[in-house]
């Protein structure tokens, strides 16, 4: 069992996945910092000095000046400003992943689908001129 686990872990795909996961976590932290520290302050300034990370709905009925004060007092709150920040973070990460996948797909070579030998009906590569199964020549109108 240990040997099987060791073989599984040392396979290239698992190591690649682990590296991608760690890079994804680091990328997520960068995006969080970008949204909270770079993107939202100017947007808040344009909207009349609004601090999105401090927007909340207090459900307790008592007044609290900040979200941190309400949470410290244990008041039930809906922190919709943090939710807006999280949605923006998600959209940035999703767009970045879209761009990466789009570029990877552009560089992939698309293979032609296999064709069928008209004589023995076996699947053969699209570029083949002779069937590897029955050795028939595939040139001419019968090839398909």
Say yes or no: 8 and 70 in one domain: yes
CATH number where 51 lies: 1.10.1200.120
Mean pLDDT of 119-127: 88
For the chain, the domain total comes to 2
- Please write the tens of the pLDDT for every residue from 88-120: 989 998 898 888 888 888 887 777 788 889 889
Say yes or no: 53 and 71 in one domain: yes
pLDDT for 144 equals 47
Say yes or no: 12 and 43 in one domain: yes
Interatomic CA distance for residues 82 and 90, integer angstroms: 12
Say yes or no: 103 and 120 in one domain: no
Interatomic CA distance for residues 35 and 134, integer angstroms: 63
pLDDT for 87 equals 92
Say yes or no: 96 and 142 in one domain: no
Say yes or no: 121 and 105 in one domain: no
Say yes or no: 90 and 43 in one domain: yes
Say yes or no: 144 and 91 in one domain: no
- Please write the tens of the pLDDT for every residue from 26-62: 888 998 898 888 888 898 888 888 888 888 999 988 9
Say yes or no: 96 and 138 in one domain: no
Lowest mean pLDDT among 8-17, 52-61, 123-132: 8-17
Structural domain that includes position 99: 2-110
Neighbouring C-beta atoms of residue 42, cutoff 10 Å: 9
pLDDT for 140 equals 55
Say yes or no: 21 and 81 in one domain: yes
Residue indicated by tokens 């001419």: 140
Interatomic CA distance for residues 35 and 27, integer angstroms: 12
Answer yes or no: are the C-beta atoms of 81 and 58 closer than 8 Å: no
pTM, two decimals, is 0.59
Q: For residue 141, is pLDDT > 80?
A: no
Answer yes or no: are the C-beta atoms of 36 and 51 closer than 8 Å: no
Q: For residue 6, is pLDDT > 60?
A: yes
pLDDT for 64 equals 92
Say yes or no: 93 and 66 in one domain: yes
């Amino acid at each position: 069992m240990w040997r099987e686990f060791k073989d599984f872990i040392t396979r290239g795909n698992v190591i690649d996945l682990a590296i991608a996961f760690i890079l994804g976590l680091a990328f997520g932290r960068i995006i969080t910092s970008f949204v909270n520290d770079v993107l939202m302050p100017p947007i808040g300034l344009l909207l009349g000095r609004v601090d999105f990370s401090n927007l909340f709905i207090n459900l307790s009925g008592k007044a609290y000046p900040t979200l941190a004060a309400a949470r410290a007092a244990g008041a039930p709150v809906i922190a919709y400003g943090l939710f807006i920040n999280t949605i923006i973070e998600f959209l940035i990460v999703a767009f970045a992943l879209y761009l990466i996948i789009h570029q990877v797909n552009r560089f992939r070579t698309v293979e032609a689908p296999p064709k069928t030998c008209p004589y023995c009906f076996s699947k053969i590569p699209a570029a083949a001129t002779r069937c590897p199964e029955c050795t028939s020549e595939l040139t001419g109108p019968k090839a398909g």
